[in-house]
A and B are shown apart, each in its own frame.
Chain A
Amino acid sequence: MVDPAGDNIATVRHLTRVFTSRRGMFGPKRTMRAVNDVSLDVPRGKVTGVVGESGCGKSTLARLVLRLIEASAGKVLFEGVDLGTLPAADLRKLRRRMQMVFQDPYSSIDPRYTIRRALLEPYQVQGVTIDAAAARLRIDELIAMVGLSPRMADSYPHQLSGGQRQRVGIARALALNPSLLVLDEPTASLDVSIQAQIIGLLEALKNDLGLTYLFISHDLSLIRYFCDRTVVMYLGRIVEVLPTSRTEPRHHYSRALMDSNFEPDPNRRKVVNRLAGEIASPFDLPPGCAFAARCPAATELCRRERPVLAQHGLGHQIACHHPIG
């Protein structure tokens, strides 16, 4: 159904992941839909942002897209290939083309490996034969690509700063020439001056290498700056898709996220009173709109009937009975 050479590098359809837990050792089993019937296109050569607060399912979605965890229902097509039905060997091979950058690279790099050794690991894991001289050259190239100095190749992770480690994390993801990078909060634990460096690096790499990004973040101002399209999630579902970085949000939750985001400008102070209450428990969600309990515009309809994600103008999707404007 999807042309491999089409506009979307990845297509997500009705993706759902259910986690179960028990309250106490003998308590009743409870289920939680971390990702709930999510459909999404990831257009080639663009940056698609996924934004939401803790528990909205954005990190689970990132892992589902790469099939690092299994879906409970729905499917992910990568360049037209259904990842769910792919045998393990084929999936591993395909993984060269899609890589992940994690929030904390320190936890994904062996502390006993030098940076050079850590950058060789993707080739070994993938069983790519590469002779020593070529490997050396390629790793020098990767180190230069992410703006690290050549002498860092022989350092250990603990000798690097947070920003330098994240550069190593990016270099590792780029080692096998992927076309899609899934970036899960890659700058969340960095200082702002370093965060801006890393975002600048990611922008340059995307342009130079023609990459596609799926960028997960809780930071709406960063998402709005960096991403072509923005997907807003709340409690496992997509509530709004903003087709451009200039599109004004029309879902009340997206609006509230915008209003909660303080600009570095004392002349633009926000009046904060929009959101009452806190995020509901992902267990036992209400039958209607999950946001209704906090929404200033909620009506009886919202509590009774869940709004579907519907098209409102070109590429602008909203799941709300009473959208703004």
Chain B
Amino acid sequence: MALLSLDNVSVTIGRLHPLDGISFDLDRKEILGIVGESGSGKSLTALSVMGLLPLIGGKVTKGAIVFDGIDLVSLPETDYRRLRGKRIALISQNPMTSLDPIIRIGAQIDQVSQLHLGLSAVAAQARSIELMQQLRIPDAATIHGNYPHQLSGGMKQRMVIAMALAADPDLIIADEPTTALDVTIQAQIIQIMVDLVRERGLALMLITHDMGVVAQACDRVVVLYAGRVAEQAGVADIFATPKHPYTRELIRCIPRHGQAPGSLKGIPGTVPSVMDYPSGCRFHPRCAHAQAICGTEVPLLEQKTSGRAACHLTEVLAHG
């Protein structure tokens, strides 16, 4: 059985319905990419799993989220607290939102293993320094005593990763963990996260807008568009034979090495807002292949030859 399983999950915030029927599984030792543009529901998916929707006035109104046999949708907050940080850890885009600016960085990492693993202060510090060394932080013992503002952005993000790992979680959710970083630092951090997941047999949900990061790091991919799953498949299939027109167009939006000038097109129109989702397939106003049915009927996420796609026209497109 999968470690984490979302089945037809819908989320409501007030009168808005930002997530509609999200389904996917994530196994141990697996890196699952959740990819999409702004407003696609990537971060809300993370919040749903973390049980943090109430913070923004949202709730799961339909479907099931099951983590290692535990039904998360009906889980009381007190039990959730034993799960968060301990078995499911979150790495957010901006490390400063996860770090307290007036507490020494090492102490913040120590706290996690003291709280969740019951380690003594001395044992926790030893564990933190060892973790920092695994994250290739030079002179870890000194940095352990530094404050967050004394560190660069890349170094701070490594500290957040160390915090996430401190309680030995089963699942890490990383929400755009490298978007705020320079490219050479991004490459290092992605490499470190991939290595750790492989070594420790963790499950990683990697949320990103960057198809390059997906291609580099992920085993399987879920493509979100306007609050729904457009397609999901193994990483090789997603890039070689994308089934959904949106996936296909999204991959074409990234310039490749040696691409001819004038050949980059983009997708016409704009990413729809949650206030104003189109009827039928939410991609149909921007889709070059849209037909009458696309504007009226919601396509179901169906099993295709490889992976699943929510498109009325995949069979037509595959042969055309």
Q: Which residues of A contact B154 (CB under 8 A)?
A: 278
Question: Is A181 in contact with chain B by the CB < 8 A criterion?
Answer: no
**B101-141 at interface with A (beta carbon < 8 Å):** 138
Given A218-B182, A261-B212, A196 and B256 contact (CB-CB distance below 8 Å): no
Question: Is B254 in contact with chain A by the CB < 8 A criterion?
Answer: yes
Contact check, B235 vs A196: say whether CB atoms are below 8 A apart.
no
Q: Which one of A95-103, A263-271, A296-304 is at the B interface?
A: A263-271
Number of chain A residues whose Cβ lies closer than 8 Å to a Cβ of chain B: 45
Contact check, A257 vs B239: say whether CB atoms are below 8 A apart.
no
Q: Which residues of B contact A264 (CB under 8 A)?
A: 211-212, 214-215, 239, 251, 254, 256
Contact check, A263 vs B270: say whether CB atoms are below 8 A apart.
no
Q: How many A-B residue pairs have CB under 8 A?
A: 134
Number of chain B residues whose Cβ lies closer than 8 Å to a Cβ of chain A: 46
Pick the residue among B37, B191, B265 that contacts A272 (CB under 8 A). B191
Q: Which residues of B contact A219 (CB under 8 A)?
A: 183
Q: Which residues of A contact B271 (CB under 8 A)?
A: 161, 191, 193-194
Pick the residue among B183, B184, B259, B267 that contacts A197 (CB under 8 A). B267
A6 to B59, CA, bound (A): 65
Contact check, A220 vs B183: say whether CB atoms are below 8 A apart.
yes
Question: Is A262 in contact with chain B by the CB < 8 A criterion?
Answer: yes
Question: Is A57 in contact with chain B by the CB < 8 A criterion?
Answer: no
Interface of A is mostly: helix
Pick the residue among B37, B183, B235, B239 that contacts A192 (CB under 8 A). B37
A273 to B194, CA, bound (A): 13
Min CB–CB distance B271 → chain A (angstroms): 6
Question: Is B185 in contact with chain A by the CB < 8 A criterion?
Answer: yes
**A174-199 at interface with B (beta carbon < 8 Å):** 191-199
Residue-wise, chain A 190-222 has the 8 Å CB interface mask toward B (1 for contact) of 011111111110010000000000000011111
Q: Which residues of B contact A226 (CB under 8 A)?
A: 255, 261
Min CB–CB distance B110 → chain A (angstroms): 24
**A260-289 at interface with B (beta carbon < 8 Å):** 260-270, 272-273, 275, 277-279
Contact check, B209 vs A218: say whether CB atoms are below 8 A apart.
no
CB nearest neighbor in A for B262: A203
Question: Is A164 in contact with chain B by the CB < 8 A criterion?
Answer: yes
Contact check, B270 vs A163: say whether CB atoms are below 8 A apart.
yes
Question: Is A138 in contact with chain B by the CB < 8 A criterion?
Answer: no
Contact check, B184 vs A257: say whether CB atoms are below 8 A apart.
yes
Question: Is A224 in contact with chain B by the CB < 8 A criterion?
Answer: yes
A259 to B256, CA, bound (A): 13
Contact check, A196 vs B183: say whether CB atoms are below 8 A apart.
no
**B195-248 at interface with A (beta carbon < 8 Å):** 209-216, 235-236, 239
A264 to B182, CA, bound (A): 18
Q: Which residues of B contact A218 (CB under 8 A)?
A: 182-183
Contact check, A224 vs B255: say whether CB atoms are below 8 A apart.
yes
Min CB–CB distance B159 → chain A (angstroms): 14
Min CB–CB distance A157 → chain B (angstroms): 15
Contact check, A196 vs B212: say whether CB atoms are below 8 A apart.
no
Contact check, A225 vs B261: say whether CB atoms are below 8 A apart.
yes
Min CB–CB distance A321 → chain B (angstroms): 21
Question: Is A121 in contact with chain B by the CB < 8 A criterion?
Answer: no
Pick the residue among B138, B212, B259, B268 that contacts A225 (CB under 8 A). B259
Question: Is B78 in contact with chain A by the CB < 8 A criterion?
Answer: no
Contact check, B184 vs A200: say whether CB atoms are below 8 A apart.
no
Q: Which residues of A contact B15 (CB under 8 A)?
A: none
Contact check, B265 vs A191: say whether CB atoms are below 8 A apart.
no
Question: Is A40 in contact with chain B by the CB < 8 A criterion?
Answer: no
Pick the residue among B187, B212, B250 that contacts A263 (CB under 8 A). B212
Contact check, A193 vs B215: say whether CB atoms are below 8 A apart.
no
Given A191-B38, A194-B266, A198-B266, A266 and B235 contact (CB-CB distance below 8 Å): yes
Q: Which residues of B contact A278 (CB under 8 A)?
A: 152, 154-155, 185
Pick the residue among B209, B210, B216 that contacts A269 (CB under 8 A). B216
**B242-294 at interface with A (beta carbon < 8 Å):** 249-259, 261-262, 264-268, 270-271
26 contacts between A and B (CB under 8 A): A53-B182, A161-B271, A164-B270, A191-B209, A192-B209, A192-B211, A192-B250, A194-B271, A195-B266, A196-B267, A197-B265, A197-B267, A197-B268, A199-B255, A199-B264, A200-B266, A203-B261, A203-B262, A221-B257, A224-B255, A224-B257, A257-B183, A257-B184, A265-B256, A275-B188, A278-B154
8 smallest beta-carbon distances between A and B, as pairs:
A196-B266, A197-B266, A225-B255, A262-B212, A260-B187, A193-B267, A53-B182, A196-B253
